[in-house]
């Protein structure tokens, strides 16, 4: 009976998150248009993207509104677990602020660059460090759980710098994925709901006592991303910008650290790894061949990987819908495997 009660709370919070995001998006989009806060398009990107110039950006703030509303509304029902949700929400808010500064810089300069890479990374590590300080205060163990086993590796003090790197990496990975209408929003919707399911199972198996609260936060995040997708699907009326993509990636990574499902999250977020991996491979191969032959060569037509597919003749909607399908398959598989074989 208690489990059903908590499910009702989760569903109610999720619906609130969806409605807040869906409804606040309307005035936010109008405000962004009125203030001419439009997207700048990278000059070396696919030509078909030039028509997207001027589309309102920084819309990811409404995802934060929705996730916050649903999470805060659940406080009364999860008072002892609530601090974990607040901690992830604080991380999401801080990184959204970093993304907003980056987006604002791009708009002001009229170019596709805002904060310098090292500035952005330094701020992300600062936000991650404060979040990890909170984890330490809440006695989250510095361990890495191996899925489908009873093994948890105690990483000692190594856990903390690796965790900070994990947060920064996933934050930027989702950001790199946000290059086509609905690609990041749809992929993160599936990932957030899968992580919510894992958090619920973690609680039921008595592995981590904060599972219900974390499941509620993640379900709210997934619902908020789903509501945002209404406006972000092709042709997009608004982009989430770095304000949304950086924050979502950091929040998912932070939640994975709390429920000790970092490895499964990497599997669930395979799309994010493919996108980021393509960029890293492209840069490394270009630099290596330039050093060896004097002329840099490329593996892909353009990175991130979705641009490689675009230049190969794939339509934007084909890439996005197939990515969504892959994201749903990965999410469902991770949840089913964890439910079937346990922690």
Q: For residue range 31-57, what is the model confidence (pLDDT) as tens digits?
A: 999 988 887 766 556 656 666 778 999
Percent of the chain past pLDDT 90, that is, above it, reads: 73
**Residues 292-338 pLDDT 10s:** 888 889 999 999 999 999 999 999 999 999 999 999 999 999 999 99
What pLDDT is recorded for position 2?
47
Percent of the chain past pLDDT 70, that is, above it, reads: 91
**Residues 184-218 pLDDT 10s:** 999 999 999 999 999 988 866 555 556 788 999 99
> pLDDT-based confidence at 1, cuts 50/70/90?
very low
Q: What is the mean pLDDT of the chain?
A: 91
What pLDDT is recorded for position 190?
98
**Residues 112-161 pLDDT 10s:** 577 888 999 999 999 999 999 999 998 889 999 898 888 889 999 999 99
Contact 39, 55 (CB under 8 A): yes
Q: Any idea what the Cα angle at residue 317 is, between residues 66 and 241, rounded to 5°?
A: 40
The answer to whether the peptide bond before residue 237 is cis (omega within 30 degrees of 0) is no
Is 21 a residue whose pLDDT tops 70?
A: yes
Backbone torsions φ then ψ of 143, nearest 5 degrees: -120, 155
Q: What is each CA distance from 14 to 20, 67, 91, in whole angstroms?
A: 10, 8, 20
Partner residues linked to 145 by β-bridges: 152
Say how many domains are in the chain. 1
- Per 3-state DSSP, the chain is made up of helix, strand and coil in percentages (nearest 5) of 75, 0, 25
Is 108 a residue whose pLDDT tops 90?
A: no
- State the DSSP H helix or E strand holding residue 153, giving kind and residue range, or none if neither: strand 152-154
What number is the average pLDDT over the span 62-85?
88
What pLDDT is recorded for position 151?
86
**Domain coverage including residue 38:** 2-341
């Amino acid at each position: 009976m208690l489990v059903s009660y908590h499910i009702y709370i989760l569903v109610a919070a999720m619906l609130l998150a969806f409605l807040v995001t869906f409804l606040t998006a309307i005035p936010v989009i109008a405000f962004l248009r009125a203030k001419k806060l439009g997207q700048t398009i990278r000059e070396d990107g696919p030509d078909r993207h030039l028509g997207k110039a001027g589309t309102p950006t920084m819309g990811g703030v409404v995802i934060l509104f929705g996730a916050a509303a649903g999470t805060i509304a659940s406080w009364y029902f999860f008072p002892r677990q609530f601090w974990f949700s607040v901690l992830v929400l604080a991380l999401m808010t801080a990184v959204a602020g970093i993304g907003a500064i980056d987006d604002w810089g791009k708009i002001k300069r009229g170019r596709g660059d805002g904060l310098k890479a090292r500035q952005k990374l330094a701020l992300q590590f600062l936000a991650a460090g404060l979040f990890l300080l909170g984890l330490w205060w809440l006695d989250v163990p510095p361990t890495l759980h191996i899925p489908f086993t009873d093994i948890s590796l105690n990483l000692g003090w190594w856990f903390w710098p690796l965790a900070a790197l994990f947060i920064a990496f996933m934050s930027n990975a989702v950001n790199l994925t946000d290059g086509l209408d609905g690609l990041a929003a749809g992929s993160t919707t599936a990932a957030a709901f899968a992580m919510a399911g894992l958090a619920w199972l973690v609680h039921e198996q008595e592995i981590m006592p904060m599972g219900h609260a974390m499941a509620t936060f993640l379900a709210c995040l997934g619902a908020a991303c789903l509501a945002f997708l209404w406006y972000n699907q092709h042709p997009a009326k608004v982009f989430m910008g770095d304000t949304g993509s950086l924050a979502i990636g950091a929040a998912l990574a932070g939640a994975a650290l709390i429920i000790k499902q970092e490895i499964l999250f990497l599997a669930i977020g395979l799309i994010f790894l493919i996108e980021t991996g393509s960029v890293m491979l492209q840069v490394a191969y270009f630099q290596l061949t330039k050093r060896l032959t004097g002329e840099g060569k490329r593996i892909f037509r353009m990175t991130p990987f979705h641009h490689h597919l675009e230049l190969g003749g794939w339509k934007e909607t084909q890439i996005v819908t197939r990515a969504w399908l892959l994201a749903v398959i990965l999410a469902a598989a991770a949840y089913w495997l964890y439910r079937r074989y346990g922690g």
